[in-house]
Chain A
Amino acid sequence: MSWAGKILRVNLNAGTVTPEPLNMEWAMQYLGQRGLATKYLVEETDPKVDPLSPDNKLIMATGPLTGTMASTGGRYSVITKGPLTGAIACSNSGGFFGAELKHAGWDMIIFEGRSPKPVYLYVEDDHAELIPADEIWGKSVWETDQILHEKHADPLIRIAAVGRAAEKGCLYAAIVNDLHRAAGRSGVGTVMASKQVKAVVVRGTKGISNIRDPEAFEEVTEAAKKVLAENAVTGEGLPKYGTQVLMNVINEIGAMPTRNMRDVQFEGASKISGEAMYEPRESDGKPNLVTNGACFGCTIACGRISTIDPTHFTIKDKPQYRHASGGLEYEAAWALGSDEGIDDLDALTYANFLCNEDGLDPISFGATVAAAMELYEMGVITREDTGGIELKFGNAEALARCAELTARGEGFGQVLGLGSKRLCEKYGHPDLSMTVKGQEFPAYDPRGIQGMGLAYATSNRGACHLRGYSVASEVLGIPYKTDPLVTEGKAELVKAFQDATGAVDSSGLCVFTTFAWTLEDIAPQIDAACEGNWTPEKLQEVGERVWNLERKYNIEAGITGKYDTLPKRLLKEAAKTGPAKGMANRLDEMLPEYYSLRGWTPDGVPTPETLQRLGV
């Protein structure tokens, strides 16, 4: 049994913390982390709840392999109803916080209600308490981390916190742990702040002592690590270039969302790519990239640690940003770069630092700035609205200023904090919001990668690449190559990716392992650690079960099949350049087949037979 078997329930109205046993019957059905926490949320809350009301709950959940010696076994997820989307929110993070929570002996923390005053939760093994947060409320994540480390005088504590953006109501605020790892999407940080919870501090000294078959576990995890090490992607490509290696790939194939998705190729892509992060800069001869970094137990180490050119306009008067910190991942580089038409690597790195410092989802932030830039160039948003910012595509100063204001919830940053959907509605141009279910797109234009259109439209948490990454097959040839410009076969492909990801996200492992591992590699690791006879087939079924449970929750929340669509721009306006030139996304060719493969009605509702088959 590699679950700790214990949940910490935090009632913020009453200020109580209560341990309770994990529901093992549900764990057998939903495994852990994403799946199991979704089950708790579904059972304990009304899907129609206002996401920012005390009746919404927020769950931090580990998986059974979190904190073990399985490679990448350090993940946790935050599950709640998302304020950006009104749909289920589930954001996954690495770093060290999740493993520490597990080592303290907890599978999950469930926050309910709302504290009358700002608090933070302190957990040290079995001991847990709520502590007034007066000295950290109003501070950034980085300041909070420093203050709490000094206060508790323990360098080994791990901290997850929200920044000023969340406190000020930015709808896509993240929860940042270990300074630069984040449960980033859908506004999970906004929910945490609405409960007046500033941070969670964890110290765990118990380790993991209940692996079902320790010898077998050591054997299978070692074998699986060898697979990662010998695979060209996980053993070489990701450690060296990180996810940023994709910048040039996606640009070449003509699927790089550019200038609020008006274009599909960015002329400045190579200047902000993973390769560019290695180029020595003129001022001090150093490259942007300092080193790669790894989350707990990870043998891939895809993380980027970077510095900004000390003479760059963003920081020349701000020595506090001259240290090395979490650098650009592909998603941030795209959203802060090509979507604004900005090719200034240092400006992007600066904006990314601010996203980490104050807990902003860089994808939603960047895409919202891009929408605002388009509206500014149309004359709809004025210089008066922006407080004097010349919000034109390509203006790196404007990006830096927007990041500063949004991070602190000041001035025009308050408007940007609404997200692209509400911002475009506010200015009377809802069609210019590049979102699905209210959430901004990630870095793949679905005109150039057709299957991703289906993956976005049907994603349970709004536009997202991590729910069904068909890019792996359509572009990268993993596990096999398919043509990105055709729709045939994509319904099946997207479903398979969605289900497999649902299982991986429920295990405690990182989804990047699946560039080398299949469920055939993952199942033996779970099975050696946990009771329950975990086979690849059973995991695939767990993933499908999770998917349908999330879907059911969304439908009950009012997010029905009618929201399984894409912005008009992507369905009607053809790509102007690249291999997809002349093509829009052909969602209508994929969606009916997808519903049918899922065992859903033509309106996208899971049939009673499907729910019964899966035991939902």
Chain B
Amino acid sequence: MKLRLKLYATLGDYLPSGVRGHETTLDIGPETTVQQVIDRLGIPEEQAHLVLVDGVYVEPQARSSRVLREGEVLAIWPPVAGG
């Protein structure tokens, strides 16, 4: 199953090696959760601050139960802000 993965700001470092830019496609098995992807990429918990699936925020307590579906976009940021 294909997942579109976007890692922004300093999290770009956690993209699989060889990936240019901030986006890639990831092969995941069925029933893979958001938290499993975060763990697979090795992103520390406090760095996975803003976690969005198709633009919708996934709360920390829901990340282990939120199963990813084919074609969804998972985007993650460390704590960021602007104005």
Contact = CB atoms under 8 A, between A and B. Distances in A.
B22, B49, B83, most chain A CB atoms within 10 A: B83
Contacts of A246: 80-82
A155 to B, nearest CB: 31
A232 B83 contact: no
How many interface residues does chain B have, given as a range? 20 to 34
B79 A233 contact: yes
Contacts of A242: 82
B49 A477 contact: yes
Contact of A466 (B57, B73, B80, B83): B83
Interface in B49-83: 49-50, 52, 54-57, 59, 73, 75, 77-83
Chain A interface, DSSP helix/strand/loop, else mixed:
helix
Contact of A232 (B12, B21, B46): B46
Given A511-B83, A579-B56, A476 B12 contact: no
Nearest to A251: B55
B50 A476 contact: yes
A274 B81 contact: no
Contacts of B52: 252-253
Contact of A253 (B55, B80, B83): B55
B8 interface: yes
Given A241-B9, A270-B22, A578-B55, A477 B82 contact: no
A373 B43 CA distance: 43
Contacts of A243: 82-83
B78 A232 contact: yes
Nearest to B59: A481
B9 A472 contact: no
How many interface residues does chain A have, given as a range? 35 or more
A302 B82 CA distance: 9
A275 interface: yes
B8 A232 contact: no
B2 interface: no
B78 to A, nearest CB: 6
B57 A275 contact: no
Contact of A249 (B8, B56, B73, B83): B8
A238 B78 contact: no
20 contacts: A232-B46, A232-B78, A237-B9, A242-B82, A243-B82, A244-B82, A245-B82, A249-B8, A252-B55, A252-B73, A254-B55, A270-B22, A275-B8, A465-B83, A466-B83, A475-B50, A476-B80, A476-B81, A481-B57, A578-B55
